[in-house]
Chains A and B, each alone.
Chain A
Amino acid sequence: MAKKEYAFYPGCSSQAKSSAANYLTSVNTMCDKLDIKLTEIPDWNCCGASIGYAEGGELPRLAINARNFALAEQHLPGKDIVATCAACWLGARETKERLDHTSQLMKETNEALAAAGLNYQGKVEIRHMVEVLIEDLGYDAIKQPVVKSLDGLKIAGYVGCQTNRPFGIVGESFENPKYLDKFIEVLGGEPLEKYEQKVTCCGGALAFSEPEKSQKQIKDIVESALDHKAELIVTPCPLCQANVEVYQSEINRKQGTNFAVPVVYYSQLMAVAYGSTAKEAGLDGQLIRTEALEKIANR
């Protein structure tokens, strides 16, 4: 039996051939090494993301999240739901909080769920993978499987918004959360503790609708990492990863910069440090290849 077991909510972006497919690859590898068993919630649906508010409204958003809760309660009773995507985790936690606190919304949500023969009893807990690593395993357990040190690689820990606010990780501050830096450190890398843009917003969904405004944010995030001589940026959020990696070439095209900083997930750092191949760590999914990590993985 695995050391820890969870009901897994991978989210849309982690599906095969989606924008964070390499996140899932590396999470699976990382969890294997840490003896964490993830069982997917059967037939889960999209959380609505943050941008779902405008057309979706309140109750429809709560109801689709509660559908996932009901399925988890039914098929994976007693197991915490674990999300890897920041927006999935946030959407689900917001839903749980609002339903727990407002009996009227709970009643209406269950009225909606009944249309599909489902019922949510209010029993699930919603966790982010980062919480599982820190709270259920701890930094010592994260360090234990390390077989290849990250060789003092200079890494900017870019936490971003939605794993940090409004809920965040217990014990961390909103303005200067340290957990990514600690991950980097136990894996043998060098965290850039003075990196100023650690919790700056990448623009989120507005990267699509307001590209100029978002790319200004992304430019700050990358530039500050370079100022501190970062060799790569690490993040816990799929949208942060995609936005900060993908738009560097657009910023170069428009502004004549020469950005090419790789942006990876914490789980990719762990997979490499735990001795996995570049492919098992999902490094073949980078748009900006990270030669430094590949070199360590191939060693």
Chain B
Amino acid sequence: MTNANQQAVARYKNNFLKEVEERVEEGDMVKMCMQCGVCAGSCPLGSAWEHSPQKIFMMIRAGKRDEVLQSDSMWMCTSCYNCIVRCPRQLPITHIMHGLANYAHRLGIAPKGQPTREFAKTFWNNLIKRGRTNELTLTLAHYFANGIGPGIKTALNMQKIGLGMVMAGRLNPMEIFGGHSVKDLKGFHAVLAKAKEIEDRKKGFAA
């Protein structure tokens, strides 16, 4: 039994563009890019991207699978949507970057310990637990993701802010015991499980 990544490599061989078109959210729009570079110049975190979206689109066409999927570039997206509204070819660039990051994450080849990858995972697991975000446990889980030592250091730096939020009625220490929740949690989880089952089947992650 090979893993999902090996199966994908075997299936698509050197045709990375086809793989992206079939398996990445909105990936079928990649071929519309005309390499103008407006996206690269519009990103608020542009200088932090090793490969700009423009470059990533060309790398996909050139079959540079590992270089794209193992890059931390897509993880720099803040979801500001500047690139989308400025793209003269109307590529949904933000969604494609999200899609590439998600695909690499699911294949298990995205950069290990990449902070936004870790935070995104923590966030999703937090929200699906009770159907609503628990801001206290989300924050704590994120601070302590790298262990007790760094967690305490971050928590100490942030404690004044945290206390200020509590005093202002915008953070509830009691949320540690549960917090807000949807009532039909069983139904919510059933919807999610079914959606994931369908998505996994479509994208080659079904067991």
A→B interface (CB under 8 Å): 12-13, 15-22, 43-46, 48-60, 62-64, 67, 108-109, 111-118, 161-162, 165-166, 168, 174, 200-201, 203-206, 208-210, 213-214, 217, 246, 249-250, 253, 284-287
Check B195–A59 contact: CB distance below 8 A: yes
- Dominant SS at the B interface? helix
Q: Is B176 an interface residue (CB 8 A)?
A: no
Check A21–B132 contact: CB distance below 8 A: no
Residue of A nearest to B43 (CB): A201
Check B127–A52 contact: CB distance below 8 A: yes
- In the docked arrangement, what's the CA distance between A81 and B142, Å? 32
Partner of A12, one of B82, B115, B180: B180
In the A-B complex, the 4 residue pairs with the closest CB atoms: A116-B187, A54-B120, A50-B79, A55-B124
What are 19 sample pairs from A and B whose C-beta atoms fall under 8 A apart?
A: A12-B180, A51-B79, A52-B124, A54-B101, A55-B121, A55-B124, A57-B199, A57-B203, A58-B99, A113-B191, A115-B187, A116-B188, A161-B79, A201-B44, A209-B119, A209-B120, A213-B48, A286-B168, A287-B161
Known contacts: A59-B198, A210-B116, A285-B170. The answer to whether A53 contacts B101 by CB under 8 A is yes
Residue of B nearest to A58 (CB): B25
Partner of A46, one of B84, B133, B139: B133
Check A63–B78 contact: CB distance below 8 A: no
Chain B count of residues within 8 A CB distance of the other chain? 67
Check B105–A165 contact: CB distance below 8 A: no
Q: Shortest Cβ distance from A13 into chain B, in angstroms?
A: 7
Q: Shortest Cβ distance from B117 into chain A, in angstroms?
A: 6
Q: Is B73 an interface residue (CB 8 A)?
A: no
